[in-house]
Structure 1
């Protein structure tokens, strides 16, 4: 270890004296006390880690699975571009991920970055580790008596409830997903305005993850190693840890992991099932018991006003081992400021999971109001976190007028040559009926101010015209008749509305003569 910590890369924050508490510097910060387990992998990197040559993959220990490596880099970039920037390097996330779970068990993740099998730390029942009673009803870690650290970055449930993040933008926070877990770990490491560019700040950050000097030495050794060079390897082909701990091979990691101490401070994570049953005296969930719901969308939930969503919300119910669970009734609920609805004008609908564990919601009618909403999926009669899916309703038609801005005319005169172009998916939209209405601030039809004239010369404040079809008139262009002004001054609104609900407002300013 002395040789490893002495061979640091330029600028690497490795303290040669960190293993000797008696020589600890006064500015060496202490951890923030986040509870967790103390099981981690103790393998050390090779003494040398040259950058991988172009013609060969380099040392196997410097290979990081592609999805895992991308998650670390994305998390560091996300934090570096925010107000929470603290000098975090992705190599530190890689070092912690290596020590905590062997890089998500060698990169055993699916296309979304979620571990193929749950990664659990020991049961925190006070036997060789901290004693932490259940804080999540077993939802994340499958244990309703005591907590367990969960996922590739090993968060215990109570800490995940505070620091959990949505790194992949799917609307959910899953500690078993490497993108979510990496971003959460980045935020946790940078908490409290830490400066990881300093030795004290770096050590404070790592110790907050696990209050163990041996842990600090091990993480810093891998941090130094990765800063000297890494290379990408395919998911599932990364080296597996041999020492006990989460994410180890089947022959390692069983039991408590006696190398650890009882006074740990690792963050918390959780998913049911796992590879370490040290002291677990509560019954494991039945194979037919769902422990998680995951969105499995085939594409984005988007639709135009007046239409329906081509993609339908769907979720997969899985048990503690990540296997599909059939027959789970899933309730889908639409929440948001639109009039999107399930059949029958309902805001909720239920659908059971099939043999593949997937439940498919009914088709959603987009309605006539553009906006965004969320579809929340819950398992009826189950205490599981809701799976949330984001949906967007966009106006079917876009309007353009040249020049933009308010039109002006004095009292007792008229606005002339009002022309508006309509497009759908960047193509001119001909033959579209458009209703033009003079409205009040409340959206009601106005009874004073500018008006159209009907065939008999009477005032009319709502008319319907059709955009040109391209034969005798320009395709997609709406030409309105003259708008007359009465004796009232002020700014009025002319609203154009299509049958699907797309709208466009034209301000009309009437001035004194």
Structure 2
């Protein structure tokens, strides 16, 4: 116990050693490029977020405070249990509560299926969960994964923190004045509104549920087609969660620690971190979290001091005091009056991009949607969050697979949404832009997805297609569709045995296809080219009618090809026929599957 307590106080030696070790490991790991300064701290030359990262409004957490504790020097070995029925403190710190660990792994599995190119490791979710909430306060969750008591960050009232006024009428954080980060992954309500997912299939999206929160965090980290096995994309994703280089380094340290191995511990037996990004060093308890909801560690009571003098920029000389993620109650009330935010000054939105957009199924829309925030006098308003939402019966998404994107306006007052990607569902839909945190009319944009098309269709071979009466054609018809010279994949097509070159009606005699029941059919609908634009038709059969017949194939977009088919008795050289098949009696087509 004394040794453990002493280790916590020796931050100058222990954490520096841990950071140095983590940096050395990271330099050779899947997150290369992290170096160490002279103090053994991690540095990141490219830690500044890219312009893309503004598309979520700044961060998932509103850049709320986070825990800064670094991983322990060594994992417990060989077992997290001391054998006395209690969990060793070091084991509790290094382990991950069972339900929380299961949620991380389930989220990884879901993202592996939904967004395989993201390469999301569950250890990254564990690292963020550790930094944001100490793994849901050491695993204080019920059997369904919902926290036993709310985990709330401080209210974001601009008093030492970001200023984010209420966006959910207190639905998630219980605060109808300002937003607060919520749940084990600390989402602010405005981000949860579009990023929230149902991870435990109970029909609800609850930021206080670790399954929902973990899956939502995974989708958030995987947007913009980021590949988290790539160093640059990994860093961008972490910084988009909380835009701080120190945050990035802390998460990377825990990520590397968990990659080396961790273990499962019982729910509720994990330790609560003690060091916060918005406060000084705090000595945390050396024993696992108690059975009752834990009380946040706080600094020793300060000695009496004289009445404080007003601090520059702080009305009344009030200095914000730290709050614990989970308390939800700042120790200093907000100022009596708060200056208007940029959002408060927005009077209306104006369209700043195409109002009618079109794309082919599976393609990317050429135009980008934009919106400009303006005051009543028409002046541009910067630093305002605009939420774009895809509406209607469509599977079109923004880049990254999301149907909602939040973008911050630039100095010209304009927010440009990520590119739209059309799905396979054709038809009209809309995209609506609104100001986050303001109840003012939005701007709607019309869009339409048209079916895939081809403008040329040709046979891939030139061999003559012949058959004897009552037989089967040896060659199957194979075609290739193109559009603008490129392969036209997944294009709809129809094949018909037509009466003649001038009469596109279906022929009632001659060659035919077979349906699933072996019955003769002379029109096939619902055909579709493959990814390379190729279309191979089913085998053709002949009835007893001889002559030359025509097969016509037409695609969406109007591409057409007509193929000649000859039915002739053996030994005739297949030279007879007028294109109408009238040289021999025309009995009814064979319907025998064996024919």
TM range (shorter): 0.3 to 0.5
Give TM-score scaled by structure 2 length: 0.41
Q: Which has the higher contact order (CA 8 A, sep 6+)?
A: 1
Superposition TM-score, scaled by structure 1 size: 0.47
Bigger Rg, structure 1 or 2: 2
